[in-house]
Amino acid sequence: MIRHALGSLLLCVLLACAGWAATPRFALALGGGAALGYAHLGVLEVLEAEGLRPDLVLGASMGSIVGGLYCAGLSPDAIAAQAEGLDIFKLMDWQLGGMGFFEWNKVRRRLGPLLEGRRVESCVVPLICVATDLRSGERVPLSRGPLLDAMLASATIPGLYEPVPWEGRLLVDGGLVDEVPILSAREAGATIVVAVDVSHPLLDEELRGPFDVMRQAYFIIQMHNVDHRRPLADLLIRPDLDGLDFHRFGEVEAARRVGREAARKALPELRALLKSRGWSRR
């Protein structure tokens, strides 16, 4: 009798797992791009208005900051209100002798009260922040643990900010290995992946000095990273970022507007995609 009961229980578990696997899962992959990442707010705003909330959000770099706040329950409007007019230089903690020029203390004090000690696994919308192991170069998807630490680890520009310690690792910017976390979405079991690419366009004006050369080199790496992953996405949304710059963190509305425009333009294709895969609003 006990054996029969255990057999029935196992069958129920297998059937439940099969049903879960057969259920379409819509993942939204938010890429890095520093201040250009505010375009994600416009995309999220349009999806919310259409009732198309994803089953999973993945973020790399600035995508983890915006995605983390959204998945913690903040609306795009609330996130924009926090960022509007932000002077990023006032949030920089200079340090000497560390592994980066800046620490995260001021950013923690600003974001901490908004997150209220939330953990990644307790987010309103399931979230994965993608980081990079500084020692091994491995891609590290963070789906559990302190939310603020996961967001900052994913956004830590190596050499500029102090790496974030995490279970014996030193973690830095996830954009190094998954600029738009499309691969991480597939590995998490997503059957529908919509990616938002806000990586900086290449500089087409004359390169005037070493800083421009370093910026251009980083933008080229981003471009090839995204191109390599692009075939794994079902839909790629690419806002028109011309005229915007990655370091203007106080100019939220311009980036949000182009994100909104790109999302509205993609809506017919997105609706058709979701319908064809049998996805329905939760």
Active site residues: 61, 173
Residue that is written with structure tokens 């899962």 in the block = 25
> Which of 152, 161, 61, 141 lies closest to 115 in space, CA to CA?
152
3-state secondary structure of 86: coil
3-state DSSP of 205-232:
CCCCCHHHHHHHHHHHHHHHHHHHHHHH
Q: Give the angle 220-166-161 at the CA atoms, nearest 5°.
A: 45
Q: How far apart are CA 93 and CA 161, in angstroms?
A: 9
